[in-house]
Structures are given as C-alpha cells and as structure tokens.
Amino acid sequence: MNQKKIYVTGLGPGNADHMTGAALASMADADIVVGYKTYIDLIKDLDCVQGKTLKASGMRKEVDRCQECLDLALEGKTVTLVSSGDAGVYGMAGIMLELVEKQKADVEVEVVPGISAVNAAASILGAPLMHDYAVISLSNLLTDWELIKKRIRCAGEGDFVIALYNPKSKGRPTNINTCQEILLQVKDPKTPVGIVQNAMRDGQKKCITTLDQMCDQEINMFSLVIIGNSKTYVTDDGQTMITPRGYTL
C-alpha cells in the first residue's frame, strides 16, 4: 500500500543555511521534488536530493504544478513541492490543499514551514517587527486593487508596522506610489522604511530610508519593503531599524 503523500515545503529565503532539518528531510523522503525553476536551482546540489527526480516548471503555472504533484501522488509517489520562504504565505500550500479538497483526493498533505521572506528581511534590517504588524501584497493580479488600497489604509490607521510583498514589477510599476500616498495621509513622512532585495541570496542589498523618500529607492520584484510604526527608529549609524516593544532600558 502506497502512502500517497505530498509535502509542501518552505525553503526559506534561499540559502541552504536557512532551511530547516524538516525541510531537508521532506526532500530526502520524496521520490520526486517539484518546484518553480528558480527554487529547484536553489536545492539541486543538496545531498538530500541527489539521485531523485527534480521537476522544474515555469512561472504562473501554479495550479498546473499542484495538479501534477497530485497526479504523481495518486500514482503512489511521494512528492515534495518546494516554494521559497514559507509555503503557507502567498505560497503553494493553499493551492495544493484546495485542489486536494476540491477533488476529494485520498492524499495526505503535510505543510513544512520555512523562514518567511518577511522574517528574513527583518533580520537583515535589525528588528522592525518587534510589535504588531500587517503583511500586504501589492500585486493586484489576483486581488482587487480597491481591497488592497483599503488594507493599506486600515494598516496605516492602526499604526501597524507594514510589510509589503510584491511591491513593484514591470506590470505594476506605480502601486507602490499609491501605497505611499495613502500612508502619507496617516503616517509621519519621516517614518523609517527598510528595503531588502534578494535576502540571503546572491546580490543581497539593504536600504534604510523614510516613507516620503522610499519611492526614490531601487524597488523591484525581488524586494521586500518594511514600513515602521510611529515608534520605529533608526540607529545613529543609519544601519539598523528597530521597533521598540516597550521595555524600559
């Protein structure tokens, strides 16, 4: 009797040092590892996948990729679907579980958490997430733009630290400017903002700036942007962003 199991595994930011033992074990247990090409490249040299079948697929084929994993599992293969960051945050875990539910497939799905992009970026900037925070994707590919704008406004009014996924791409070059305009209505223009690109991968860059100047900085589809709350400050050397939790030092 085959076990018919799919792991949906978060690889963390990319660098193997930031993968968990459980993530590596899920790949070691698989017959086949499936993922977007960039993520397969991140793991193809790891010991735990040597001798295994690796299937790389293209972008924007998320549903097809999950269906392929499900078909393989129903044939009796153990499949590990890899995703960067945490597979449960704008990742593949939800689609995989939705497909299994919709088709009432008799397959076990285990979600293996990974270091989320927001946590990786925060660690590079210092400690900007020490208090309540909101995570918002600026991609309106699958989400109504009016809803995204409403969420930005609510997060600003609530004085949350705000982390932005997908802040800018060629198809959405100005969403970040609209986000800035909304937040400037309720936040201090000098609120610290951290921008991290390629966190824990080749080409890692960080920039610490302010809300009124953030759109003058390099922001692209590999960036994660963290906007402080009203208490967030930057160290005197300009290198570290800290949101106090409220302890008296």
Q: Which helix (H) or strand (E) covers residue 184, if one does?
A: helix 175-184
Question: Rounded CA gap, 44 and 168, in Å?
Answer: 29
Residue 112, beta-bridge partner list: 9
CB of 151 to a copy of itself, least distance (A): 4
CB of 140 to a copy of itself, least distance (A): 10
Kindly state the greatest CA–CA separation across the chain: 63
CB of 174 to a copy of itself, least distance (A): 19
Q: Whose Cβ is closer to a copy of itself: residue 102's or residue 216's? A: 102
Q: Whose Cβ is closer to a copy of itself: residue 21's or residue 58's? A: 21
What would the 3-class secondary structure string for 111-164 be? Answer: EECCCCHHHHHHHHHEECCCCCEEEEECCCCCCCHHHHHHHHHHHHHCCCEEEE
Q: Could you tell me which residues come within 8 angstroms of residue 179 by beta carbon, excluding any fewer than 6 positions away?
A: 138, 149, 152, 164, 167
Task: State phi, psi for 37 to the nearest 5 degrees.
Answer: -50, -45
Q: Whose Cβ is closer to a copy of itself: residue 19's or residue 33's? A: 19
Q: Whose Cβ is closer to a copy of itself: residue 53's or residue 108's? A: 108
CB of 76 to a copy of itself, least distance (A): 22
CB of 166 to a copy of itself, least distance (A): 11
Question: Rounded CA gap, 107 and 105, in Å?
Answer: 6
Instruction: Classify residue 200 as left (phi > 0), alpha (psi -120 to 50) or beta.
Output: left
Q: Whose Cβ is closer to a copy of itself: residue 72's or residue 96's? A: 96
CB of 31 to a copy of itself, least distance (A): 21
Q: Whose Cβ is closer to a copy of itself: residue 53's or residue 64's? A: 64
